[in-house]
Structure 1
Amino acid sequence: MTAQAPAATPNLDRGIIGNAGLAALIDDQGGLDWMCAPRMDGDPVFCGLLGAGEGEGDGDGCWRFRLSGQRDSSQSYQRNTAVLETILTDDEGNRARIIDFAPRFVMAGRIFRGHSVVRIVEPLSGTPRLTVSLRPRFDYGLQRPEVTRGTNHVRYVLGPQLMRLTTDAPVEYVLSETPFLLEHPLAFILGPDESLSDHPMAIARRFLRDTRRYWLDWVRSLALPADFQEVVIRAAITLKLCSNEETGAIVAALTTSIPEYGASGRTWDYRCCWLRDSYFTVQALNSLNATRTMENYLVYVSNLAAGSESGYMQPLFGLGLERSLDEHIVPGLPGYRGLGPVRRGNAAWTQVQNDGYGSVILAAIQCFFDERLPDMGDEGLFRRLERLGAEAEARWNQPDAGLWEFRTRAEIHTHSALMCWAACDRLARIARKLGLTPDEARWRASAERIRSAILEQGWNHDRGCFVATFGGDEVDASLLLMAQTGFIAAEDPRFLATVAACEADLRFGNHLYRYRRPDDFGAPETAFTACTFWLIDALVRTGRGDEARGIFDDILSRRNHLGLLSEGVHVESGELWGNFPQTYSMVGLINTAMALSRRWEDVL
Structure 2
Amino acid sequence: MSTLDLGVIGNCNIAALVDAQAAIVWGCFPRIDGDAVFHALLNDTASQGKFSVELVDQLHSEQAYLPNSAILRTTLYDHHGGIAEVVDFAPRFALYERIFRPPMIIRRIKAVQGRPRVLVRLRPGFENGGLKPQLTRGSNHLRYVSPAQTLRLTTNAPVSYITEERPFVLDRPIDLLLGSDESLQAGVETTARDLFERTLDHWRSWVRSLSIPFEWQDAVIRAAITLKLCNFEETGAIVAALTTSIPEAPETERNWDYRFCWLRDAYFVIHALNRLGVTRTMEDYLRFINDIVEEAQDGELRPVYGITRDTSIDEVAIPHLMGYRGFGPVRVGNQAHVQIQNDVYGSVVLASTHAFFDRRLAHPGNMALFEQLERLGNRAVAVFDKPDAGPWELRTIASVHTFSSVMCWAACDRLAKIARQIGQTDRAIYWRREADRLHAIICERAWSDKRGCFVSTFGGDELDATLLLLHEVDFLATDDPRFAATVDAVAANLRTGDFLYRYVAEDDFGRPATAFLICVFWYIDALAALGRRDEARALFETVLGRRNPLGLLSEDIDPRNGELWGNFPQTYSMVGLINCAMRLSRNWEEAF
Paired with 2:555 and 2:537, the residues of 1 have a C-alpha distance of 21
Aligned partners of 1:400 and 1:412 also within 8 Å: yes
Task: Work out whether 1:330 is the aligned partner of 2:304.
Answer: no
Spell out, residue by residue over 1:28-63, the C-alpha distance to the aligned partner (whole angstroms, 9 max, x if none): 1110010111221111010000005xxxx6442000
C-alpha separation in 2, matches of 1:198 and 1:343: 41
Q: Distance in 2 between matches of 1:419 and 1:291?
A: 24
Instruction: Describe the SS at the equivalent of 2:434.
Output: helix
For residues 20-31 of structure 1, what are the structure 2 equivalents within 5 Å? 20-31=12-23
Query: Matched residues in 2 for 1:103 and 1:139: separation?
Result: 25
Distance 1:324 1:392 in 2: 24
Q: Answer yes or no: is 1:278 the counterpart of 2:266.
A: yes
Asked if the contact 1:103–1:112 (Cα under 8 Å) also holds between the matched residues in 2, the reply is yes
In 2, Cα distance between equivalents of 1:265 and 1:73: 33
Q: Does 1:35 align with 2:39?
A: no
1:435 shift after superposition: 0.6
Contact 2:31 2:103 in 1 (8 A): no
Which residue among 168, 174, 177 is the counterpart of 2:156? 168
Q: Distance between the aligned counterparts of 2:378 and 2:146, measured in 1?
A: 46
- Give runs of aligned pairs for residues 423-438 of structure 1, distance below 5 A: 423-438=411-426
1:391 corresponds to 2:383:
no
The alignment status of 1:580 with 2:571, answered yes or no, reads no
What are the Cα deviations for residues 537-589 of structure 1, in whole angstroms up to 9, with x where unaligned?
11001111111112111111110000000001101111000000000000011
Which amino acid in structure 1 is aligned with residue 2 of structure 2? P
Moved more, 525-534 or 365-374: 365-374
Is 2:492 aligned against 1:500? no
Q: Is the 8 A contact 2:497 2:560 kept in 1?
A: no
**Partner of 1:310: helix, strand, or coil?**
helix
Question: Is 1:293–2:281 an aligned residue pair?
Answer: yes
Query: Does the Cα contact within 8 Å between 1:137 and 1:158 map onto a contact in 2?
Result: no
Alpha-carbon separation, structure 2, partners of 1:105 and 1:312 = 38
| Contact 1:252/1:583 (8 A) holds in 2 | yes
**SS of the residue 1:334 aligns to:** coil
Give 1:47's match in structure 2, choosing from 39, 60, 64: 39
Q: Which residue of 2 aligns with 1:553?
A: 541
Give the partner amino acid of 1:310. Answer: D
In structure 1, what residue type is equivalent to 2:488?
Answer: A
RMSD: 0.9
What does 1:56-71 correspond to in 2, within 5 Å?
58-71=46-59
Counterpart Cα distance in 1 of 2:18 and 2:372: 41
Number of residue pairs aligned between Structure 1 and Structure 2: 592
Give the aligned residue type for 1:13. D
Indicate the SS of the match to 1:337. coil
Gaps of 5+ in 2: none
Please state how far the C-alpha of 1:324 moved relative to its aligned partner: 2.2
1:39-438 matches, within 5 Å, as 39-51=31-43, 58-438=46-426
The correspondence for 1:487, drawn from 437, 461, 475, is 475
8 Å CA contact 1:368–1:377 kept in 2: the answer is yes
Q: Distance in 2 between matches of 1:483 and 1:159?
A: 53
* AA aligned opposite 1:204: A
d(CA) in 1 for partners of 2:384, 2:23 = 48
Offset at 1:446?
Answer: 1.1
Give the whole-Å Cα distance in 1 for the aligned partners of 2:351 and 2:189: 42
Supply the AA of the counterpart residue of 1:106: A
Instruction: Output one character per residue of 1:114-169: Cα deviation in whole Å (capped at 9) or x when no partner.
Output: 11011100110100111000000011211110010001100011330011000000
State the distance in 1 between where 2:577 and 2:3 align: 21
Letter of the structure 2 residue corresponding to residue 576 of structure 1: L
Residue 110 of structure 1 and its aligned partner are, at CA, apart by 1.2
SS in 2 for 1:230: helix
Distance 1:61 1:31 in 2: 10
Asked if the contact 1:139/1:159 (under 8 Å) is kept, the reply is no
Q: Is 1:454 aligned with 2:442?
A: yes
- Map Cα deviations across residues 451-475 of structure 1 (whole Å, 9 max, x no partner): 0111100101111110000000111
Report the alpha carbon displacement of residue 89 of structure 1 after superposing the two structures with TM: 0.7
Amino acid aligned to 2:33: D
Provide the secondary structure at the position in 1 that maps to 2:387. coil
Question: Residues 291-335 of structure 1, C-alpha deviation per residue, up to 9 Å, x if partnerless?
Answer: 111111111111111222221001000011111211111111000
Spell out, residue by residue over 1:357-412, the C-alpha distance to the aligned partner (whole angstroms, 9 max, x if none). Answer: 11111112112111122221111211121111111111101000000000111000
Distance 1:589 1:531 in 2: 11
Distance across 2 between alignment mates of 1:602 and 1:184? 51
Q: Deviations over 1:317-357 (max 9, x none)?
A: 00111112111111110000011110011111111000011
**Does structure 2 conserve the Cα–Cα contact (< 8 Å) formed by 1:270 and 1:579?**
yes
Conserved 8 A contact 1:355-1:415: yes
**Residue aligning to 1:14:** 6
**Residue deviations 1:456-505, cap 9 Å, x none?**
00101111110000000111100000011111111211111111110111
1: CA distance, partners of 2:117 / 2:351: 52
C-alpha distance in 2 between matches for 1:126 and 1:153: 28
TM-score for the superposition, normalised by structure 1: 0.97
Match of 1:4 in 2: none
In 1: Cα distance, 2:126 partner to 2:385 partner? 45
Distance 2:161 2:84 in 1: 18
Indicate the percent of aligned positions where both proteins have the same amino acid. Answer: 53
- The question of whether the paired residues in 1 share the 8 Å contact of 2:279 and 2:360 is answered with no
User: Letter of the aligned partner of 1:16 in structure 2?
Assistant: V
| 2:221 match: secondary structure | helix
CA contact (8 A) 1:251 1:274 kept: yes
Structure 2 length as normaliser, TM-score?
A: 0.99
Distance 1:102 1:444 in 2: 48
| Amino acid in the other structure paired with 2:38 | F
In structure 1, the residue corresponding to 2:325 is in which secondary structure? helix
Separation (CA, whole Å) in 2 of partners of 1:458 and 1:46: 46
